[in-house]
Structure 1
Amino acid sequence: MTPQSAEIRKKHLIHLLIQNGIYKKSTRHLYELSLMELEREYQTLSGGARACQSVK
């Protein structure tokens, strides 16, 4: 992954997390997190959403 594509991916993940009401992780702002941390946070969010949908 090129540095440019990694930065684009980070911005996209930050946008998705903010849309879902997540602005910080603990005391750190999203823009301070690494790409891997953002990916994990989004996977947690997505997994939780899928779990709720399967209950219905």
Structure 2
Amino acid sequence: MQGKEVVKIGNLLRQAVQLKRSRLINKLIKSGVYKKNKQHLYELTLSDLEREYEYIEANGLASNSKVESEK
């Protein structure tokens, strides 16, 4: 691969991760989750957001209830 192609792929990957983070943050906010352990959602990694969303889905909290996770 050429240098420009690597940069282009890197930018696409970064955009995809950011889009997935944004979507998860929106889903968590709709479920009433705004923070986790005093950290705002935008401060969490993609992996942290995925785990948090999986947790609230698995525990039936993915509704409109107001939840601040202390997990």
- TM-score relative to the length of structure 2: 0.67
Q: Structure 2, unaligned stretches of length 5 or more?
A: 1-11, 62-71
Say which structure is richer in helix. Answer: 1
Q: Structure 1, unaligned stretches of length 5 or more?
A: 51-56
| CA distance in 2: counterparts of 1:45 and 1:23, whole angstroms | 13
For the pair shown, which has the larger CA radius of gyration, 1 or 2?
2
- TM-score relative to the length of structure 1: 0.84
| CA distance in 2: counterparts of 1:27 and 1:46, whole angstroms | 21
Correspondence 1:8 to 2:9:
no
Q: Which portions of structure 1, spanning 4 or more consecutive aligned residues, are displaced by more than 6 angstroms?
A: none
Choose the corresponding residue for 1:45, options 26, 32, 56.
Answer: 56
Q: Secondary structure at the match of 2:59?
A: helix
